Amino acid sequence: MQRQQGLSVISVLFIMLIVGACFLLAGKVLPVYNEYAEVRKAVTALAGETGKGETELRREFMNHAMVGDISSIKPENLTIITTANSVFVRAAYRREVPLFANVSLAFDFDTQAGQTPQ
């Protein structure tokens, strides 16, 4: 008698369940990290703009947020310290992403650019 080889239907369904869960997770997590990359880019750009006031820098961040689709942090939540020849910008925020029912993922981001104030 010849022995059968291969996967059973239950094995295939289990593998499809695991792959589907991975795609679901990736679909929820990747946009969060793309937004974080945009926030980092905006913070770095703001830190390079010396000679501008705090309100002007917040307005610049709002422009970056509109173009880069940043919705997790508002210009009012930035820490901006300007001196005569340097700018320090820090963005610290939390983003929660619902997975299903009452299960969510929480991400804490903290990025800064510029010369640290003394």
pLDDT band at 14 (very low <50, low <70, confident <90, very high): very high
- pLDDT digits 0-9 by tens, 71-90: 999 999 999 988 888 889 99
| 47 part of a folded domain | yes
Q: For residue 1, is it within any domain?
A: no
pLDDT for 97 beyond 80: yes
Confidence of residue 8 (pLDDT cuts 50, 70, 90): confident
Give the residue from 45, 42, 116, 44 showing the smallest Cα distance to 86: 116
Domain that holds residue 53: 9-114
Q: How far apart are CA 58 and CA 52, in angstroms?
A: 10
- Mean pLDDT across 27-43: 94
> Would residue 79 count as lying in a domain?
yes
Burial class (CB in 10 A: 0-12, 13-18, 19+), 78: buried
pLDDT tens column, 46-78: 988 888 888 999 999 999 999 989 999 999 999
- Quote the pLDDT of residue 6: 77
- Considering the domain boundaries, does residue 2 fall inside one? no
